[in-house]
Amino acid sequence: MSQQIIFFILAAVILTSAIAVVTLRNLFHAALALMVSFLGVAGIYILLEAAFLGMAQLLVYIGAISILIIFAIMMTRRLMQTSESPFNAQAIAALIGSLIVLVIMAVVVARLYPLTPSTDSMFASATTVDPVILESSVARMGRAFVSADAYVLPFEIASVLLLAALVGSIIIAWPRSGEEDNL
């Protein structure tokens, strides 16, 4: 029961701040709402007993991506004037399209999985797992990342991807020669 209350609080926080992200005029306020939304998602991970992912969410999303976004907003600050509409001409069509996507996904979920909590099936409430299994999940994940019969190749490719993104974003954002004065 207390888990359900926590879930509803987290869901309310996530959805309210997500709606604020897409509707607020002031982009800086939207970025702050985005941080709140990320925090709520980290709480959901911890509620799902994936504490490592929750911490990674805190570090990567709130610590890095949000700060990056705020930096980008500040570097393009002159365009933050709040007089004109933040939405483009197709905002209403976009709202209808998003609602259709939401309804389709909700109908599919409602038809496939039970909506009320009960102990009848594994989908109606999470099966109780031996706490040792959950506690060792991070160790198992670490081994899976580096064992040859699991995910070592995707792991190394992810390292290369991060390096490429690092170098690429520096190259892209580097001012061309003679342009430094305008910064």
Alpha-carbon distance of 163 to 96, in angstroms, equals: 39
Q: Which is nearer to another protein, 105 or 148 (CB)?
A: 105
- Output 148 or 173, the one with its CB closest to another protein: 173
Q: Give me the least distance between CB of 148 and another protein, in Å please.
A: 15
Contacts of 25 (CB under 8 A, 6+ apart): 82, 86
Angle, helices 27-47 vs 66-75, to 10°: value is: 170
Rounded to whole angstroms, how far apart are CA atoms 49 and 67?
27
- 116 vs 148, which CB is nearer to another protein? 116
Which residue lies nearer to another protein by CB, 148 or 172?
A: 172
Q: What distance in Å separates the CA atoms of residue 76 and residue 68, rounded to the nearest whole number?
A: 13
Identity of residue 12: A
Q: How far is the CB of 141 from another protein (least distance, A)?
A: 4
Please answer whether residues 45 and 54 qualify as being in contact, where contact means their C-beta atoms are separated by less than 8 angstroms: yes
Q: How far is the CB of 165 from another protein (least distance, A)?
A: 4
Residue 18 CB, nearest approach to another protein (Å): 4
